[in-house]
Amino acid sequence: MDTMKAVRYGAMAVMAASTIGFSVGCAGTAQPQQQEIVQMDNADFYTDGKLDTAKCKEAYFEMMKKVGAPVYPRYKEEPGFLWTVDFGQGDFARFGMGGVFWVNNRDKQYFGHEIFLLPGQAIAEHRHLPTTDAKGPLQAKHESWLVRHGSVYGFSEVGEPNLDEFPEIKALLADCQKPVMNCVHVEKWEADGQLHVLPKDETWHFMMGGPDGAVVTEFGTFHDNNGLRFTVPGASL
């Protein structure tokens, strides 16, 4: 079955927003446009009630081709190298992600991660806390993100509350996430070369794939899974 046939990328829809002037004295103004986000059919990612990694990967590969991202042979050939997760909630289309850990070095304290998101698919809201392991204390993970292809919505508990200004994405959030969310500030991040930095360590954050999905590179300090916390009860990586 071709999973991506289930994707229905909606027609362009004009959103109400403030008029933008391009220069002083410029007679022309423009209204920004926002492409509708249509999520995939969640049932397409499960076989006998279990998350089907092969189907998830197929969807990501089709998304990568659509946004112009490379699909490296090792993504397909090395078992477990590109992993997928629904955080144990059974709602992969809305509450899931794909990823590749390029490096996670505890001694040198650096981390490199590739994040894959389908249209309207969101990572579980989470934060990172300081921990201690057999080698000693570890700082809370600090991270930054660079959108390589596509676009995402970045959610944070830091910043002016503006979630209600994005009703089109608020409605796409997983039912398990909505009642426990701490993130009230949202920004649209494009593949424009801008680095987006976690504004404050230990704060809640997550991101959601834009209309075409996204490939995002994450830079960070060592990821200690013992320091990872989710707001959704029972969620796990």
pLDDT digits (tens, 9 = 90+) for 182-225: 999 999 999 999 999 999 999 999 999 999 999 999 999 999 99
Has residue 181 got a pLDDT over 70?
yes
d(CA 109, CA 103): 10
d(CA 118, CA 210): 8
pLDDT at 19: 28
> Which amino acid would we find at residue 236?
S
Digit-coded pLDDT (tens) for 74-130? 999 999 999 999 999 999 999 999 999 999 999 999 999 999 999 999 999 999 999
What does the buried/exposed string (b/e) look like for 124-149 if buried means 16 or more CB atoms within 10 Å of the residue's CB? bbbbbeebeeeeeebbbbbbebbbbb
DSSP reduced 3-state for 171: coil
DSSP reduced 3-state for 114: strand
pLDDT at 35: 78
pTM for the full predicted model? 0.85
- Structural domains in the chain, CATH included, are 42-230 (2.60.120.10)
**Distance between start and end Cα atoms, the chain:** 27
d(CA 17, CA 32): 7
Q: Indicate the average pLDDT of the chain.
A: 88
Among 115, 127, 136, which residue's Cα sits nearest to residue 216? 115
pLDDT at 16: 32
The residue-averaged pLDDT of 121-146 equals 97
